[in-house]
Structure 1
Amino acid sequence: MQTNEQLITLCQDLIKHPSLSGFEKEAASFIQKTMQSLAYDEVSIDAYGSVVGSIFGSREGPAVLMDGHIDTVGVENPNLWNHDPFAGRLTEGRIYGRGSSDMKGALSAMMLAASEFKKKTGGKFRGSLHVSATVCEECFEGISSRLVTKFVKPDVVIVGEASSLAIKRGQRGRAEVVLQTFGKSCHSSNPDEGVNAVTAMLTLLPEILALKAPHHPVLGEGILVLTDIVSSPYPALSVVPESCKVTFDRRLLVGETEKSILAPIQQILDKHPDIRATVSVAEGSLTCYTGKSITAKRFFPAWLLDEDHPLVQAAKAALPSSPLSHYSFCTNASHFCAEAGIPTIGYGPSEESLAHTVDEYISTAQLSLALDGYLALLGHLLV
C-alpha cells in the first residue's frame, strides 16, 4: 500500500473506533496492534491506558516524543451531521468524523512517520523515537501525560494538535474557577426569613466580571468567562435558594499560579463581609478504561518558548515554510513544557476551528503534508 493511502486508511480506521474520554479501550487496542504491525521496537500501555510506541536508534542521542491524544468529545446530536460521525467517510479530499481533526488525523501521521523514519534510516539514528497516544486529554489536559513522561523521559516533545501546519511555540493555559455563595433557605412567600444566595451572587458578579484581564505580548489576554450558574435547590419551587455556584473559564498566561488568579476575586469577596462566599479552582475525577482513576485540580498552566530557543530554531530549519504561532486552546503541553519543563513545540494538520464541530473533517492534503513535516522534524532532531 502506498504511504498516503496507508495514512488515509489509518485515519479512517481510528475514526471508526469511538473513543470518548474514559472509553478509549478499543481504540487503544487498535493503536497497539497497529504500532506492532508497523515494526515499532516496543509497545506498551500504561496504568491510565495511554499507548506508547518506541523505536530505538543505534547511537546515543535525545529521546524525542510525539504526542497525540486518543480521546474525543462526544456527538450530542448525530442527526445534525451530514456524514456519519464514526464512518470515516472520504469525499472530495476530506475525511469526515469525530476526532478527524482533534486529533486522530495527526496521531495517524505521527504513528506512520515514526515507522517510515525507521525504514528510511535503517534504524541508524541518534537517540530514540516515541509516539504516545494519550487518554483523557479532553477532560484533563496533560494529567495522563505524566505517566508518559516518567516512562519515556523525553528530551523534546512534539504535540500534534491542529496548527494548520504552523509551528506553535506556546499556548495559554486554562483553569476552572468556582465561586459559591451561601444563604439560608426559606419559603419564598416569606423571603425576609432567609438569605437569598442568588441575590448575593448577583452582588458579586458585576465586580468580578469587571476585573481587567491580564495581558501577555504573545499569548494575548488571560480572559475570565462565566460558563455556568446553578442555584440549589433546583428547581426551587417556592423556596429561596440556599446556595449558588458559578463556574468561570480562566485562560492562563505564563507565570500565573492558582494563588495569583484567585487573589483578585478573593479581594472582592473580602470587601463584602456580609456575604458568605468561597472561591477555588475546581477539582474533577474520571475513571479510565483501565479502572484507574484520575483526580486533579482543573488548572493547566501556560507555556512559551523563545523564538531563539534551539528547538524552535530546529523546527524552523526543518519546516522553513511554516510560520511561528501559538495555540489559543490548551493541550498536553501544559504538562510537558509548563509542568515538566521539557522543550515542546506544537505542529499538526488541520485547523483549530474544526475541533469539536458538527461534520468535523480533515483534508487529506494537510494529512499528507503533516506526515512529511514530522519526517523532516525527526531528520533534524535525530540524524
Structure 2
Amino acid sequence: MLPRLLYIADVPVENSLHGSALLFRLLLDYPRDRLRIVETGAQHSLPHRRLPGVDYRHVPQRMGRLRRTRLAKLVDSMAMVGAAHVSRAIRTATIGFDADAVLTVTNGNGWLSAVALARAHKLPYHLMCHDEWAGGGATLAALAAMKERIFAQAYRGAASRLCVSPAMGAAYQRRFGVAGETLYPARSPHGQVYEGLSPRLAARTRGRVVAFAGSMSTLAMVEANRRMAQAIAPLGGRLIIYGPATVEAHPSLAQPNIELRGLLPPDALVAALRNDVDILYLPMWFGPGEKVNERLSFPSKLTDYTNVGLPIFVSGDADCAAAVWERDHPGVALVQHSTAIPDIAADMQKLFENRQLARSLAERAKAVGDLMFAATTAEQSFYRTLTHRS
C-alpha cells in the first residue's frame, strides 16, 4: 500500500509549468485520502489547476515584499536559516494528517522545513531535485559553504533522492558520495498521446512559424527569444510564445513577428502546437550564475514537445542538458551552440526548407519521447520508490 504522503515545499502542485506540472502528473492518480499538499512558497496553486479531491494548505512566506528589493539576498539568507526550524504555521497545516512519509522539492527554502519536520517525527523523507540548490539561489555569497553542508546532510539522509537527470545524479554522487535515482519529467497519465506527426509536416506549403512554450524566468531566456525572432524575421518567420510572458513585463518582446498567446493547459498546448506551428524552440540559456542548472536540470518541456511531432531546435552550450540529450539520442533535435543571429538564421532556414530533415528530426523526437517520458513508466518508478523506502 502506498504511504500516507505529506508534501511540503515551495513548488506549487498544479497543472501548469515546470516542476509544478511534473508533480501534478506524478500525483494525479495517488489515493486522495493518503495525500496532503502544504505549499510554502510565495506563489501557491490555483484551485482550478489543483489535484481534484486533495487537501491543499498554503503557508505564505514571510517578508515577501522585501524579496523584491535590494535586501533580497539578506532576506533569503535569513529565510534559509529560519526554515531549518518548523514554524507554527507549518505544524498547524499538518494537523489531522497522520503521515507515513514526507515528499519535498529542493527549490526555495520550504524543503528545509519539510526535512526538519520529518526528522522531528522520525519519518522517512524523499527529495525531488529539479534544480541546483546549494550553488544557486539569491542567498549571500558568504553562506555558500553553509548551503553546501546543509544540502549534503539532507541529501545523504534522504530515503530516496529523485534527480531530474542522470547528469544531476552523477554530479551529486561525486559531491556527496551517495547515489541518486533518475526520474525524468513525464507526460500526463490521462493526456492524449498522438500517434503520428504534426499534419503541418505533410502540408504542400509549409509555414514558417516557430514556437516557444514556457515561462520567461530569466532575462537570458527573454533575450534568447528576442534573438530567435530577429533571426527568422528576414526569412518571413514568426515566433509564437505560449506562456505567462507579457510585453509589459518584457518590452523587448514587442516585435512585429512575435505573438504572445498566454499559458495553455498541456493538452490544449500540444494541440495548438500541432495545428499552428512548424518548429519547436528550446533555448537553454538561463543567465549568469546558472551554468550548473543549464547542465544538470533537464528541460521538462521536452515531455510535451516530443508529443507534438515537429522538429525541435535547441540553442545552448555543448554541455547543457538538452545538448547532452541529443548526443545520447542522435537525431532528436538540431542543436546550435552559437548565440549569433546569423548562425541561428542559417539553421532555421535549413529547417524551413529541408522537408526531409524536418521530418526525420520530428520522427526521431517522437519515438524517443514516447519511450522516455511515458506516464506509466515514471508513475510506477515513483510509486515503487515510495512503497519500498518509506
Who wins on radius of gyration, i.e. which is larger?
A: 1
Report the structure, 1 or 2, having the larger helix content: 2
TM-score for the superposition, normalised by structure 2: 0.25
TM-score for the superposition, normalised by structure 1: 0.25
- Structure with larger RCO (C-alpha < 8 A, sep 6+): 1
Report the structure, 1 or 2, having the larger strand content: 1
